[in-house]
Structure 1
Amino acid sequence: MRPLLTGLFLLSTVLPAAAETLPMPEGLVALNSAPGEALLMQSEANADYFDLAIHFTNQVHPAFCGPASIAMVLNALEVPRPASDMTLGLGLFDQENVFTPATEAVKPRAVIERAGLTLDELAGMFQAHSVSAEAVHAEDSALDDFRQTAIDSIEDGESFLLVNYLRSAIGQEKGGHISPLAAYDEDTDSFLILDVTRYKYPPVWVGAAALFDAMNTPDSDNDGRSRGYLVVSRQ
């Protein structure tokens, strides 16, 4: 297990106080709490936490959980970055320059602002940036398969896994959501979601079974196909 102090400090600088977010549902554990930090310290798989934490970002639009997650993961993958006024010309991906003519062909930004992204559209957006993105609908998978795939991705140093799930299924306030996974704790069989809507919820630990069930829900914007997970890596 890698040292955690640097990663904990980095993420703590961007997390709001717990009182500023919505009440934490029963069964979830906030990262910015003593139990949440303890889970990270004891977690068996946490390599992706470090690469994601330094690029942790908050979505700037209610429907931009997908674009925010895309920016985080592209930066963590060290994909060559264009200049952007939003990041002071430092060459980082952000929620402006993730949109390109190629992504517009997948789903126009104006439509994403109204309807967000489905799992397959999220994969298409990544592929438009010339990275590999494999979408797995929960209805075509199983809990054990998801768990192992997620653990392998978190630890392999080459890929990142994003989840597309229904918030209300884990007790949070409504709607579909997208965010990356950053760690796994075997003792509690739980994953750390680096939630990109930190003005609503901090990153949270959620049980693997509960998370899988939240992904195995129909997405009305995708002809009723289930939500699921996405493994992204450099080609």
Structure 2
Amino acid sequence: MAMASAGLYRRTLPPPSIEFASPEGKKIFTEALHNGTMNGFFKLISYYQTQSDPAFCGLATLSVVLNALAIDPGRKWKGPWRWFDDSMLDCCEPLDKIQSQGITFGKVACLARCNGAKVEPFRSDQSNIDDFRNRLISCSSSEDCHVIVSYLRTPLNQTGIGHFSPLGGYHAERDMALILDVARFKYPPHWVPVTFLWNAMNTIDQSTGQHRGYMIISKLNRAPSILYTVSCRHEGWSSVAKFLTEDVPLLLKSEDLKDIQEVLSVVFKSPPSELREFITWVAEVRRQEDGNLTLSEEEKGRLAIKADVLEQIRSTALFKHVIRWLDSERSCCDTIANVGDEDMLSALGARVCCQGADMLTGCRSSSGNCCSQIDVKHLNVGSENPVTLISGTVTTGGSSEQGVDVLVPLCQRKPSSLCLCNEGQCIGMHPSTADVLTVLLFSLPLHTWSGIKEEKLRVEVASLITTEDLLPLLAEEVLFLRDQLHFLMTDNGARSD
């Protein structure tokens, strides 16, 4: 005999909300549709999903919107299909941490940005109800943008605390918004008065001390690949971000610096130990399929973009200063310069293979040892875009195994102290330490450098970190990282402009 266990089955939707599928809700929908403020609804409803975990409201909301905007994730979901699912949105923070602690407004914005969306976040203390209503009307009348709201359920007389959901439309005469609640196991889609919704957004998230709010999400017109992202996957990310955005400006202001090398020493000589992990690179990860080592045209295209970004970094004057500083540090100390062991192909391959395993196979290992049998191959050597392929085997529970491939551009430079060598050929996995530190400097808020006392030096630094002279791909990467850092630091209440 089957036994049923006790649990919760839905909630009664309390007023002032009106259930979307009720006779009154249908009437409101029909009127709003006639008035042209439901155009965004049809895309959203086509990809509407229920959050797969009680804490995944932000991830599910983002998945719905990213799919509705037809943004290609550039990586597989299951089988051969590329598709956004809340289980894939872990580039900023591990899923198990979100599962236990939820996710903040700034990190949802950061996730949207690193997955190919344009994000305009508005906390309630930086906006007002009239601006919110106008933006809601604009997005509801279009298929090109959507509104995500972060709100407290209590002002809507609902059970629970903070929540994220997309808005599906607007009724002007009744001044009501349609919440497509991603917690469909609890409440169905429902209409709410905009004044009530604004009051629910105009609340404080106790985890950050910052106001909730809303964000406008649209498709970002950029190259179909990114190389760098800010990572919150390690516990020390907050102290690193604080060091870079608050401590570094104060240190630069307090010391009498004479040249660029001294500036770099201030930034890199005594940072938190997790600095090297704060900006990480996005690798191509795929399942091994019947030992196939060929690359699809899409994979080749994305890897070519990554290679172009790397070359653009290395062509900057700032990169040359970073190399000079790293070379000088290697000979006299064991600070950040001695991260060469972590640049070993097999070690980095195992780590990236393990991170990709969660997305591809469901393996969730924090030990970094879920990938074994690491093998390194070089593909298309001698061609325009050679590739390093790191293959590993992932144990997925029990005794089942899955092969995983990691693809990165192959270094084509002459051997140097910044790359590993084999028989006179550079075999280093890139981005290297020098690449990452260079792009980190580019991504820091502009106010970071304003306190340098020596005017000539201050002007020189400004000329090195300006995005105006960067080639388009690198400029996009830098602005992307600045946006991410801004979203994360506003969660901490820090200045990031």
TM-score by length of 2: 0.41
1:24 maps to which residue?
13
Partners of 1:216 and 1:228 within 8 A in 2? yes
Q: Does 2:82 correspond to 1:84? A: no
Deviations 1:10-34 (A, max 9, x none): xxxxxxxxxx521111111001111
Distance 1:226 1:205 in 2: 23
Q: CA deviation at 1:80?
A: 0.9
Distance 2:81 2:38 in 1: 27
Q: Does 2:145 correspond to 1:152? A: no
The 5 A counterparts of 1:150-229 are 150-222=136-208, 224-229=209-214
Distance 1:159 1:35 in 2: 27
2:64 maps to which residue?
72
Deviations 1:96-140 (A, max 9, x none): 2233xxx2xx32222211121211111001011121111100111
Match of residue 232, structure 1, among 210, 217, 239: 217
Q: Which amino acid aligns with 1:37?
A: K
Distance 1:107 1:143 in 2: 31
Q: CA deviation at 1:89?
A: 4.1
Query: SS in structure 2 opposite 1:199?
Result: coil
The 5 A counterparts of 1:3-82 are 21-43=10-32, 44=35, 45-81=37-73, 82=75
Partners of 2:181 and 2:188 within 8 A in 1? yes
Query: SS in structure 2 opposite 1:110?
Result: helix
Deviations 1:164-202 (A, max 9, x none): 000111011021000000110011100000000001000
Structure 2: tracts of 5 or more residues without a match = 1-8, 221-497
Distance 1:89 1:191 in 2: 37
Partners of 2:43 and 2:143 within 8 A in 1? no
Distance 1:194 1:157 in 2: 16
Distance 1:194 1:114 in 2: 24
Distance 1:161 1:80 in 2: 19
Structure scoring higher RCO (CA < 8 A, sep ≥ 6) equals 1
What stretches of structure 1 move > 6 A for 4+ residues in a row?
none
Distance 2:51 2:116 in 1: 23
Query: SS in structure 2 opposite 1:221?
Result: coil
Distance 1:130 1:201 in 2: 30
- Aligned-CA RMSD value: 1.3
Q: CA deviation at 1:48?
A: 1.1
Partners of 2:87 and 2:95 within 8 A in 1? no
Partners of 1:162 and 1:178 within 8 A in 2? yes
Distance 1:42 1:91 in 2: 36
Distance 1:89 1:75 in 2: 16
Q: Which amino acid aligns with 1:202?
A: P
Partners of 2:151 and 2:201 within 8 A in 1? yes
Q: CA deviation at 1:65?
A: 0.3
Q: Classify 1:122/1:180 alpha carbon distance in 2 versus 1 (closer, same or farther; 3 Å).
A: same
| Larger Rg, first or second structure (1 or 2) | 2
Deviations 1:59-93 (A, max 9, x none): 010100011011111100101133222xx643221
Distance 1:176 1:98 in 2: 19
Q: Which amino acid aligns with 1:95?
A: D
1:5 maps to which residue?
none
Partners of 2:49 and 2:182 within 8 A in 1? yes
Distance 1:48 1:232 in 2: 12
